[in-house]
């Protein structure tokens, strides 16, 4: 096995063979999936240390996904808030969100492992669209599992996936949302582990997924770190803010700044706030904070942003929280919609409802004085709001 | 004699323990009782629906165990559930609760060997057998370790898939049972997809018994009464008993 190219700091590094971030993470899957997870870990370790794989991925990210993404000073919003807001523009990445970063990495890895199919779960449909896109690009068949309720809410993305050649399978069990789509994707993966790779969409799931997905997303933080170094007199921002569903755009962003003095802030939806209101549990292969009832049954999350409608959170975030290296805050649905409108009118940028959680917190914290005047705040804008226009029309 | 272990979702209806009594009367050697969980990752549509139905009735681990404490069953009871319910209660208290309700065994399908240490210890301390699962894809070294550390018996998952009815006994299950019997003297039970008496007959030639789950639960979901389930189980018993080796 080749050497890994990883940062030396002990936080946000290699979680080791047992996939542990402090007490979180692990590989809690049925025995039938253990060999498949072990094979992915081995393949990823090997690929991530292979300069050719890295070059191939960087090239795809550049020529297909449009990286590096822009770094935009939010001039007018900054003037209004009295803090210096900088936007990392994942909304400008191909397919409209950061999800493509992870998917291109996993699809390349799947091909390297000789797989011919990709399976994916999706909630908002952004990860499903990204997976369908990578499948079309790299010649892999794609099956996307999606809760029946989300299929109704996100009709546009369902159509996009189909146009890209993916099969979209409705999931009718349980709450018929992202959590159930994830369960079903895992069940179906068991039946086809030889030919299919499960392309998980966030920093969750059994080891090595939380680590692998963070590494594929760290391109966000690495680019932003360089962009900050070029643009800011201080080199690094005072605050680094990102929304947290499963936590992949936040993990990728934080990875670029964890060894600096920047304060790392993850913004959860109040109705899906695993760090803020969950207790330690195990779901979908990993141990982390999890929303559950008094009997240990997993609760449904509720958010206006379908991508944040997940009852758990990636294990590394649980660890960063406990270690005090990152802070997790929440915003309500009714703070999010105004934040979308405000960014649209001050900067001409229509953010995704998920991303607007990060903006909403910055607005609130600047107005309350929690963010000191003139502080610099980097916000990852994880996606664009086109998919949310119907929801926004209903809300207004 | 080959072992026959029927499965029942705990709390599937208010008088659910009557099914246990019928199972006992009709040739069961032990009974696997599913403690319903919201996200059963290794269950197919039938047992998912059974769990959902029980949960909608307000069933909890505690209520299932309380119901059990009120009935007399002379054969071993084995709980089957997902790890979050164990973790939520705490491994030690969970095992103590089982023991107190007279449950002797525990199967946790999303808790593989590598993560089972803490629960193993708690189970031993409370006199509960933690049975481990083996799969067709389990490599040889790992299979040996599973056989070694599994208590009570070894639970052999016959197919790469979830629980659910199938038309035939899977060849992968036959091979897995053979590999396990070379490794251990503990009973090897084949599970998943044993749907008809003739599957039990075929399995009996290669292992020490079978678990029958979805085929029984589908009948219960369709409204079959305990006596009808007893008759169905008797068919599996007869299928197993045609084999004497
Ligand atoms: C635009 C956007 N942002 C954020 C998320 C949340 O995912 P994560 O927390 O993994 O970045 C999603 C998920 O669908 C999304 O579509």
**Within 13 Å of residue B221, how many CA atoms lie on the same side as its CB?**
17
Among B39, B114, B137, select the one facing A183 at the smallest CB separation. B39
For a mutational test of ligand 1's pocket, the pick from A102, A122, A245, i.e. the residue with the most ligand atoms closer than 8 A to its C-beta, is A245
Euclidean distance between CA atoms A84 and A227, whole angstroms: 15
Q: From the CB of A383, is ligand 1 less than 6 Å away?
A: yes
Are A38 and A185 contained in the same domain?
Answer: yes
Do A374 and A350 belong together in one domain?
Answer: yes
What is the model's pLDDT at position B245? 64
A262 within a domain of the structure (yes/no) = yes
Q: For B84, which of A36, A173, A282 is closest by C-beta distance? A: A282
**Structure tokens, A281:** 């549990």
Catalytic, out of A99, A115, A179, A387: A99
d(C-alpha A287, C-alpha A385), whole Å: 32
Q: Quick one: A345 and A377 in the same domain?
A: yes
The CA A286 to ligand 1 mean position distance, Å, reads 19
Query: Which of A247, A383, A386, A389 is the best mutation target for the ligand 1 pocket, counting ligand atoms within 8 Å of the beta carbon and taking the most?
Result: A383
Judged against a pLDDT cut of 90, whether residue B149 lies above it is answered with yes
The response to whether residue A321 sits with its C-beta less than 6 Å from ligand 1 reads: no
Say if ligand 1 is within 6 A of residue A127 CB: yes
Q: What mean pLDDT comes out for the span B179-195?
A: 97
Pairwise CA distance, residues B63 & A54, whole Å:
54
A135 and A236 together in one domain:
no
Residues A144 and A77 in one domain: no
Question: How close are the terminal C-alpha atoms of chain A, in Å?
Answer: 55
Count of the separate structural domains present in chain A? 2
Distances (CA, A) of A15 to A138, A289, B222: 29, 18, 47
Q: Is residue A3 part of a domain?
A: no
User: For position A53, which CATH number holds?
Assistant: 3.40.50.1100
- A5 part of a folded domain: no
Please state the domain extents for chain B.
3-240
Indicate which atom in ligand 1 lies nearest the CA of residue A248.
10
**C-alpha A53: how far from chain center:** 22
Full domain range(s) for residue A167: 21-61+99-209
Indicate the burial class of B151 (C-beta count within 10 angstroms; 0-12, 13-18, 19 or more).
Answer: middle
The span from the CA of B93 to the CA of B96, in Å, is 5
A265 falls within a domain: yes
CA A334 to chain centre: 22
Q: Which residues contact A340 (CB under 8 A, 6 or more apart)?
A: A350, A351, A353, A356, A359, A385, A388, A392
A210 in Cβ contact with A203 (< 8 Å):
yes
Question: Residue A11 domain-assigned?
Answer: no
Mutate to test the interface with B, among A295, A300, A311, A312 (most CBs of B within 10 A): A295
Q: Looking at the structure, tell me whether residues A27 and A126 fall in a common domain.
A: yes
Query: Which single residue is written with the structure tokens 């165990």?
Result: B65
Considering only the beta carbons, identify the residue of A18, A28, A279 that sits closest to B111: A28
Q: Are A296 and A307 contained in the same domain?
A: yes
The answer for residues whose C-beta is within 8 angstroms of residue B92's C-beta and 6 or more apart is B122, B125, B126
Strand order in the sheet with B154-157: B129-131, B105-107, B77-80, B31-34, B3-9, B209-212, B188-191, B154-157, B133-134
Structure tokens, B211: 């678990």
Asked if B84's CB is within 8 angstroms of A290's CB, the reply is yes
Class of residue B170 by CB neighbours under 10 A (exposed 0-12, middle 13-18, buried 19+): buried
pLDDT per residue as tens, chain A (396 positions): 334 433 434 689 999 999 999 999 999 999 999 999 999 999 999 999 999 999 999 999 999 999 999 999 999 999 999 999 999 999 999 999 999 999 999 999 999 999 999 999 999 899 999 999 999 999 999 999 999 999 988 889 999 999 999 999 999 988 888 999 999 999 999 999 999 999 999 999 999 999 999 999 999 999 999 999 999 999 999 999 999 999 999 999 999 999 999 999 999 999 999 999 999 999 999 999 999 999 999 999 999 998 999 999 999 999 999 999 999 999 999 999 999 999 999 999 999 999 999 999 999 999 999 999 999 999 999 999 999 998 999 887
Residue of B nearest to A282 (CA): B84
* Cα angle B232-B159-A139, degrees, rounded to a multiple of 5: 135
Question: How far, in whole angstroms, is CA A213 from its chain's centroid?
Answer: 8
Q: How many CB pairs under 8 A join A and B?
A: 114
Q: How far apart, in whole angstroms, are the C-alpha atoms of residue B242 and residue B205?
A: 10
Torsion angle defined by CA atoms of residues B133, B135, B140 and B146, in that order, rounded to the nearest 10 degrees: 0
Rounded to 10°, the helix A315-322/A248-255 angle is: 50
Amino acid A10: pLDDT: 65
A324 burial via Cβ count (<10 Å: 0-12, 13-18, 19+): exposed
pLDDT tens digits for range B225-240 = 999 999 999 999 999 9
Please give the backbone phi and psi of residue B184, each rounded to the nearest 5 degrees, phi first. -150, 150
Chain A: residue whose CA lies nearest to B113: A31
- A138: which strand partners? none
Does residue A183 sit in the same domain as residue A242? Answer: no
Residue A4 is predicted with a pLDDT of 40
> Do A253 and A158 lie in a common domain?
no
Residue A121 DSSP symbol: E
Q: Which fold has domain B3-240?
A: TIM Barrel (3.20.20)
Nearest chain B CA: its distance from A311 CA (Å):
12
State which residue of chain B sits closest to A17, comparing Cα positions. Answer: B114
Q: Which residues of B118-129 are buried (b: 16+ CB within 10 A; e: fewer)?
A: ebbebbeebebb
Cβ(A303) to ligand 1 under 6 A? no
Q: Which pTM was predicted?
A: 0.97
Q: Which atom of ligand 1 is nearest to the CA of A123?
A: 14
Separation between Cα atoms, residue A310 and residue A288, nearest integer Å: 13
**Residue A44 shares a structural domain with residue A186:** yes
Cβ contacts of B158 within 8 Å, gap of 6 or more = B136, B169, B170, B172, B173, B174, B176, B177, B190, B191, B192, B193, B194, B203
Q: Which residue has the tokens 């629980």?
A: B163
Query: Does residue A88 fall inside a structural domain?
Result: yes
- Residue A112 has a CB neighbour count (10 Å cut-off) of 17
A135, A280: one domain? no
Q: What is the C-alpha to C-alpha distance for residues B202 and B179, in angstroms, rounded to an integer?
A: 17
Q: Do the strands A285-290 and A24-28 form a parallel or antiparallel pair, or are they unpaired? A: antiparallel
The predicted-structure confidence for B119-144, as pLDDT tens digits, reads as follows 999 999 999 999 999 999 999 999 99
The answer to whether the bond into A208 is cis (omega within 30° of 0) is yes
Q: Is A205 helix (H, G, I), strand (E, B) or coil?
A: coil
Q: Is A312 in the pocket of ligand 1 (CB under 6 A)?
A: no
Pair (A93, A142) in one structural domain: no
> Is residue A13 in a domain?
no
Check pocket membership of A253 for ligand 1, CB cut-off 6 A.
no
Average pLDDT over residues B87-91: 98
Crossing angle (nearest 10°) for helices A353-368 and A333-347: 90
* Domain assignment present for A108: yes
């Amino acid at each position: 096995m080749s050497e890994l190219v990883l940062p030396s700091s002990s936080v946000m590094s290699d979680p080791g063979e047992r996939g542990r971030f402090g007490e979180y993470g692990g590989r809690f899957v049925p025995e039938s999936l253990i060999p498949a997870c072990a094979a992915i870990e081995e393949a990823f370790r090997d690929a991530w240390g292979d300069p050719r794989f890295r070059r191939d991925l960087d090239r795809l990210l550049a020529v297909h996904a449009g990286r590096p993404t822009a770094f935009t000073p939010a001039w007018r919003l900054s003037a209004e808030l009295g803090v210096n807001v900088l936007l990392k523009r994942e909304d400008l990445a191909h397919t409209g969100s950061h999800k493509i970063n992870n998917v291109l990495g996993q699809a390349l890895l799947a091909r390297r492992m000789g797989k011919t199919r990709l399976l994916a779960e999706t909630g908002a449909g952004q990860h499903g669209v990204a997976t369908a896109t990578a499948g079309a690009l790299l010649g892999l068949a794609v099956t996307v599992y999606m809760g029946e309720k989300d299929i109704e809410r996100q009709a546009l993305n369902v159509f996009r996936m189909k146009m890209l050649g993916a099969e979209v399978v409705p999931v009718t069990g349980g709450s018929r949302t992202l959590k159930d789509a994830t369960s079903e994707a895992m069940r179906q993966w068991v039946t086809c582990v030889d030919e299919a790779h499960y392309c998980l969409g966030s920093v969750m799931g059994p080891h090595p997924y939380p680590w692998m997905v963070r590494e594929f997303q760290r391109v966000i933080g690495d680019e932003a770190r360089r962009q900050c170094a070029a643009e800011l007199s201080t080199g690094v921002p005072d605050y680094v803010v990102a929304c947290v569903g499963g936590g992949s755009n936040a993990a990728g962003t934080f990875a670029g700044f964890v060894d600096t003095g920047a304060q790392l802030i993850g913004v959860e939806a109040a109705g899906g706030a695993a760090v803020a209101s969950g207790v330690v549990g195990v779901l979908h292969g990993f141990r982390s904070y999890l929303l559950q009832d008094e009997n240990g049954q997993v609760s449904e999350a509720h958010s206006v942003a379908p991508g944040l409608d997940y009852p758990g959170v990636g294990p590394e975030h649980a660890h960063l929280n406990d270690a005090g290296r990152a802070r997790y805050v929440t915003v309500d649905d009714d703070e999010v919609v105004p934040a979308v409108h405000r960014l649209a009118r001050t900067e001409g940028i229509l953010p995704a409802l998920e991303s607007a959680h990060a903006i909403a917190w910055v607005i609130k914290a600047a107005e309350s004085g929690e963010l000191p005047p003139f502080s610099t705040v980097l916000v990852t804008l994880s996606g664009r709001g086109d998919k949310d226009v119907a929801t926004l029309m209903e809300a207004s | 004699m080959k072992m026959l272990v029927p499965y029942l979702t705990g709390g599937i209806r208010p008088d659910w323990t009557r099914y246990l009594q019928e199972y006992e009367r009709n040739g069961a050697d032990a009974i696997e009782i599913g403690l319903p969980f919201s996200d059963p990752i290794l269950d197919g549509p039938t047992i998912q629906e059974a769990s959902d139905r029980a949960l909608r009735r307000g069933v909890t681990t505690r209520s299932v165990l309380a119901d059990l404490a009120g009935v007399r069953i002379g054969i071993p009871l084995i709980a089957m559930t997902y790890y979050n319910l164990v973790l939520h209660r705490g491994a030690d208290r969970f095992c103590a609760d089982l023991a107190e309700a007279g449950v002797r065994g525990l199967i946790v399908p999303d808790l593989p060997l590598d993560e089972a240490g803490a629960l193993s210890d708690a189970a031993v301390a409370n006199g509960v057998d933690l049975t481990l699962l083996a799969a067709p894809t389990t490599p040889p070294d790992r299979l040996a370790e599973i056989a070694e550390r599994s208590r009570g018996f070894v639970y052999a998952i016959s197919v790469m898939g979830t629980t659910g009815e199938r038309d035939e006994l899977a060849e992968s299950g036959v091979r897995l049972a053979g590999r396990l019997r070379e490794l251990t003297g503990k009973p090897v039970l084949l599970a998943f997809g044993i749907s008809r008496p003739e599957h039990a007959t075929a399995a009996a030639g290669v292992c020490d018994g079978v678990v029958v789950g979805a085929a029984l639960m589908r009948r219960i979901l369709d409204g079959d009464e305990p006596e009808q389930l007893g008759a169905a189980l008797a068919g599996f018993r007869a299928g197993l008993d045609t084999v004497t080796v």
